[in-house]
Amino acid sequence: MKWMVVAGVIFAAAAGAQPRTPFQARAASTVSLVKEHGADTVRITNVTYEVISAPVFTRPRDERLLLRQTCTSKAVLDEPEVDATTVLEAWPLGTSLSQKPIYRIQASGTGGRTVDGSIFVIDRATGEVGWWSVYQLGSGKHLFDTYVPLLGFSISRETLEMRYAGLEVPPDDAADARLRQPNVVSVIIYASAEGRKREVLLTADDPATAAALRSYADAARTLSVDGAAPARLRISIRRNAPSAPDTVWITIPLAGDDLDVPHAELPRGLHLSRWQR
């Protein structure tokens, strides 16, 4: 495939592909430093284009997507929080950008990235809490949120069959009343680019333990995969200082293309159960 860049937009020509109409598009990125209410304030707008060079799930096989990402932010110098918004728009490559996009995603966040040519991940951390939202690239459908970096891995050694895992830590005002129960710790998500395949609810017998493990400020979390057969998801939750570290480990084997909850390993007083939204 031959690529060239014209006026900030990438064009592609591929043998046998459906003819595409040439076009040009421009968008300005800007930065400014101003005084607002006596404080130095930085405003930034960044616009980037990206072409997905392979077929995308839910879209025609001979189609290629053109993405336009617009990130705007406003930050007061020396203050930890930032007011930021990310917008993603998608068109079939060769379509004029004056036409309505296939979809438009808008979310608070400092920017996004495509992953494996199939999903889009927006960094939602505009303050001290790190979290990410995951979307289907072909449709813009929201797949899930995760409060650890998205974990991606293949379930096959012979072919690339990507799966994704995340950990949702519900806020105290979660929209789903079931997630506001005092014994809830988190939801473990196992998914593909097509959508969520399995979700598992982690709970604690002791509400005080659940609150400590669920806390954004008082606990740090990791999510990893152990590729040794059988592959296993490993979740760690560690208490932050000044508490003793007292790391909690949860291990869930993968069986076929699913989470093997009955054979999970976790400390006494914690429990895993199937979860469905």
Residue 178, in any domain of the structure: yes
My answer on whether 3 and 128 are in the same domain is yes
Give the mean model confidence (pLDDT) for residues 248-268. 95
Give the mean model confidence (pLDDT) for residues 87-106. 96
My answer on whether 182 and 128 are in the same domain is no
My answer on whether 196 and 71 are in the same domain is no
**What pLDDT sits at residue 159?**
67
Taking the model in full, what pTM does it have? 0.88
Residue 184, in any domain of the structure: yes
**What pLDDT sits at residue 20?**
79
Q: How confident is the model at residue 161 (pLDDT cuts 50, 70, 90)?
A: confident
Residue 120, in any domain of the structure: yes
**What pLDDT sits at residue 151?**
97
My answer on whether 215 and 94 are in the same domain is no
What region does 102 belong to: left with phi over 0, alpha with psi -120 to 50, or beta?
A: alpha
My answer on whether 113 and 199 are in the same domain is no
Nearest to 232 by CA among 188, 186, 169: 188
My answer on whether 1 and 135 are in the same domain is yes
Non-local CB neighbours of 157 within 8 Å, separated by 6+ positions: none
pLDDT, tens only, 130-153: 999 999 999 999 999 999 999 999
**What pLDDT sits at residue 26?**
80
Q: How confident is the model at residue 11 (pLDDT cuts 50, 70, 90)?
A: very low
My answer on whether 192 and 123 are in the same domain is no
Alpha-carbon span 40 to 74, nearest angstrom: 11
My answer on whether 109 and 45 are in the same domain is yes
pLDDT, tens only, 196-229: 999 999 999 999 999 999 999 999 999 999 877 6
Looking at 140, 173, 200, which one is the last position of a domain?
Answer: 140
Residue 273's domain spans which residues?
A: 163-277
Looking at 91, 107, 140, which one is the last position of a domain?
Answer: 140
Alpha-carbon span 18 to 140, nearest angstrom: 23
User: From residue 126, how far is each of 45, 82, 85, 190 by CA, in Å?
Assistant: 15, 5, 9, 26
**What pLDDT sits at residue 225?**
94
Residue 271, in any domain of the structure: yes
My answer on whether 243 and 123 are in the same domain is no
Residue 117 vs residue 10, higher pLDDT: 117
Residue 229, in any domain of the structure: yes
pLDDT, tens only, 236-250: 999 887 777 789 999
My answer on whether 128 and 1 are in the same domain is yes
Query: What's the domain count of the chain?
Result: 2
